[in-house]
Amino acid sequence: MKAAILLLFSITLSLNHSHAQVTGADSLIQIEASEITIIAQKDHLLSGVPGSAAYINPAEMRRINPISGNEVFRKLPGVNVVDEEGLGLRANIGIRGLDPDRSANVLVLEDGIPVQLNPYGEPELYYTPSMDRMSALEIVKGSGQIMFGPRTIGGVVNYITADPPGTSETSLAINRGSGGFFGGRLGYGTTLGNTGMAVQYQYKQADQIGVTGFNVHDLNAKFRFILGHKASLGLKIQLYDETSNATYIGLTQPMFEHGEYYTVMAPDDQLKVRRYALNATHKYFISKNLKLTTLAYTYTTSRNWRRQGFSVNPNTANQTGIIWGDTNIPGGAVFMLNETLYRNRGFMVGGAETKLTWDYTLGRQKSQMDVGVRVLSEQAREQEVLGKRPDALSGTLVRDEVRPGLAWSGFIQNKFSLGKQLSITTGLRVEDYHFERSIYLYKNSSGAYRDTNITAPSHVSALIPGLGFNYNFNKKVTIFGGFHKGFAPPAIKNSVSTAGEVFPLDAQESWNYELGIRSVLSESVEGELTGFFLDFDKQVIPASESSGGSGSGYTNAGRTKHLGAEASLRIDFGKLFGSTYSIYWQGNATYAQATYNSDRYVGVDLVNLKGNKLPYAPEWLSTQTIGFIAPWNLEFQMSSSYVSSQFSNDLNTSEPSPDGRIGKIPAYFVADVSMRYHIPVWKISVSGSVKNLTDERYIASRRPQGIKVGIPQMFVVGLEKTF
């Protein structure tokens, strides 16, 4: 962490030095925005992206008017997002049949900077950027992600915040909704000379939406400095504080069948997430064709979670007397215990990256090369405290350990233009990650707590190649395709046991292939169709509690394969027929067969899993949207999402277990409606939306420990004003 702070300080000094050198008028170069994007196309038409990608622009983001980021992710083909508490405080994103648990198979960025707890060792997304403060969103699933890391299996998601405006602007947004929901956002931005700033504070709370209550404070400040004629510096600061009643415990099967959908079973459970982040982005134009981009960042995240003990065994001691479910069905009831366990984790991350972009001519053809290197230091500190009451504020320390890691990677990517129609992009990245687990206090097999000093190091490295192509028949139709190696390092905690034993747990590796066509036939019709195949040689299957497992670690699952296709289409009938009204339809659909592809025997009966479907990998996903935009500033949108049935375990058990954790998850269909009316003369917008329009009761998940039901019908009204 100290190293990261020193990096920021040294970069600032170097920027001041460069400012003194570039004041000559002959070096005038237009300075780009300080945001970092992963799709290198200013118009975001995706015509040069070597693989499937998607971009949600600011206008579409306003029309969606999201309360939860899940509403936006459902509009992207190939993306499966699972509700946890209903409002996207913790996104669970799975791409092309990959497990969505805590978005661990996806690289998540905000303005090009990682946001996961520890990007290499513990990538779980306990903190999720709030979608309603974003201006845009982009995602890359194909070989265009080869420069990014460390996780290149599912894809890269980049949240984009707005840069400082050119003139002074103050904005205020207020939302009020069902369940005591309130959201307020106050922002101010301006540019004075060569300095721009944008500061935003957001507060959100809810008494109980479904089973969840929370309050969130989120402060962000973004600064942009133009340093002479060749350089710019962006600085960003974030302070985030969340308190919610998030819990692992879920409904038993009898509770769900009896309609006890939103029972708060552990009212004293409490999760506190705090995040402090600082990053700097420096762009320096060495010449018209040569640009150096440097990032430096540091952030800390604390995740302190108090969870009450419970059991499905009626003979368990230390019960409170509170019982949920049906005691007449073995395993169909939950017995609350008179104890709580604080699971407190703190994470520190510091990193830096520098990238040189060179636009050059080979023969008569334009080409572009990106060469870069990044280094990242991370550390996790975990302590568990056992309290003697459900609402205990302290207790006995029962676990204490530290998990540091140090990684570096280098990459090179070159885009060759072969004529006006064909471009080929090749890339190679190297990853090297050293990590260890140092255990100071743990519970041994006999149940005794033992002081110790066990340190076990480990190491993983990989070469990650990729190749993609684009062939533009004309300005309207593009064929693209490619392949790349998927890579994800193993989680530290699951690679080393509490006894210091290093498990033979390999990094996840796959070969990912895709072939597709995208078309912008006119301003009124555009679409994309992509076929994909993910061939895993080594896939790691989670056994953690958050994934519905035993909490005893991860295991190598061997070969798996993901075969499918995804499509998206948008038709604006208003533009098609020359009307001043815009009436549009847009839809996406994904078909994915994700199965075990090698012999693997589990259970006392040694059942072979080959051919079984992977857990939480629905075959079909689809979202349809009908919208209306009137010239008198009225916008209306109705969206519906369909998720087909899926299994919750690797044995593909259909019959639900009494405790609710195992069994088939039935297909479900959810619809949302939103409306916005803008009054330009007053600079005011009023909005209203209904989430889960038909008030469906559906199983969103059977994990971590029981059934989680999707949020009930929710009404939200809002007001926005700019000054």
Secondary structure (H, E, C), 27-90: HCCCCCCCCCCCCCCCCCCCCCCCCCEEEECHHHHHHHCCCCCHHHHCCCCCEEECCCCCCCCC
Average pLDDT over residues 188-203: 96
Q: Which fold has domain 2-24+50-722?
A: Maltoporin; Chain A (2.40.170)
pLDDT of res. 541: 58
Among 13-17, 37-41, 295-299, 451-455, which stretch is predicted with the lowest mean pLDDT? Answer: 13-17
State pLDDT tens for residues 639-693.
999 999 999 999 999 999 999 999 999 999 999 999 999 999 999 999 999 999 9
Task: Give SS3 for 478.
Answer: strand
Distances (CA, A) of 565 to 96, 481, 625: 9, 13, 20
Instruction: Compute the average pLDDT of residues 489-496.
Output: 71
| pLDDT for res 5 | 40
What is the rounded distance in angstroms from the CA atom of residue 345 to the CA atom of residue 127?
A: 13
CA-to-CA dists, residue 620 to 63, 590, 606, 669, angstroms: 26, 6, 30, 12
Distance CA 715, CA 688 (A): 8
- Tokens 């009494």 sit at which residue? 658
What is d(CA 685, CA 676) in angstroms, rounded to the nearest whole number? 7
User: In angstroms, rounded to a whole number, what is the distance separating the alpha carbons of residues 132 and 197?
Assistant: 19
Domain locations in the chain?
A: 2-24+50-722
Q: Strand, coil or helix: what is 26?
A: helix
Burial 576-614 (b: 16+ CB within 10 A, else e): eeeeeebbbebbbbbbbebbbbeebeeeeeeeebeebbb
682/675 Cα distance (integer angstroms): 18
Question: 256 to each of 245, 269, 478, 648, how far by Cα in Å?
Answer: 20, 21, 48, 16
Q: Which amino acid is at 640?
A: S
Phi (first) and psi of residue 17, to 5 degrees: -70, -40
In this structure, the strands spanning 607-608 and 699-701 are unpaired
pLDDT confidence band for 18 (50 / 70 / 90): very low
Residue 576 in 3-state DSSP?
helix
Whats the size of the chain, residue-wise? 723
Average pLDDT score over residue span 25-53? 58
Give residue-wise pLDDT tens across range 412-468.
999 998 888 899 999 999 999 999 988 898 777 666 777 888 888 888 999 999 999
| 56 vs 445, higher pLDDT | 56
| Torsional sign, CA 696, 138, 372, 154 | positive
Cis peptide, bond prior to residue 150, ω within 30 of zero: yes
Give the pLDDT of residue 145: 83
**What per-residue confidence (pLDDT) applies to 410?**
97
Q: Which residue has the tokens 């619809």?
A: 671
State the Cα–Cα distance between residues 542 and 649, nearest whole angstrom.
11
Residues near 340 by beta carbon (within 8 Å), at least 6 away in sequence: 268, 306, 307, 308, 309, 386, 387, 389, 390, 391, 392, 395
- Please answer whether residues 339 and 289 qualify as being in contact, where contact means their C-beta atoms are separated by less than 8 angstroms: no
Torsion of CA 167, 172, 175, 176, to 10 degrees: -170
Q: How many other β-carbons are positioned within 10 Å of the β-carbon of residue 557?
A: 21
Which one has a higher pLDDT value, 389 or 152? Answer: 389
- pLDDT tens, 61-77? 888 878 889 999 999 99
| Residue 705 DSSP one-character state | B
Our CA dihedral for 698, 701, 702, 705, rounded to 10 degrees, sits at -120
User: Percentage of the chain with pLDDT > 70?
Assistant: 88
Quote the pTM value. Answer: 0.91
What's the chain's Rg over C-alpha atoms?
Answer: 26
- Is a pLDDT exceeding 80 seen at residue 1? no
Note the pLDDT of residue 7.
42
pLDDT bracket for residue 494 (50, 70, 90): low
Q: How far apart are the first and last CA of the chain?
A: 40
CB 517 within 8 A of CB 462: no
| Separation CA 241–CA 392 (nearest Å) | 21
- Encoding tokens for residue 693? 């329009």
Structural tokens at position 540 = 């790691």
Please state which of the ranges 316-330, 490-504, 514-528 shows the lowest mean pLDDT.
490-504
Across 318-327, 387-396, 494-503, 618-627, least confident range: 494-503
What is the rounded distance in angstroms from the CA atom of residue 147 to the CA atom of residue 465?
10
Looking at the chain, the whole-number percentage of residues with pLDDT higher than 90 is 71
In this model, does residue 369 exceed pLDDT 50? yes
pLDDT computed for residue 49 by the predictor? 73
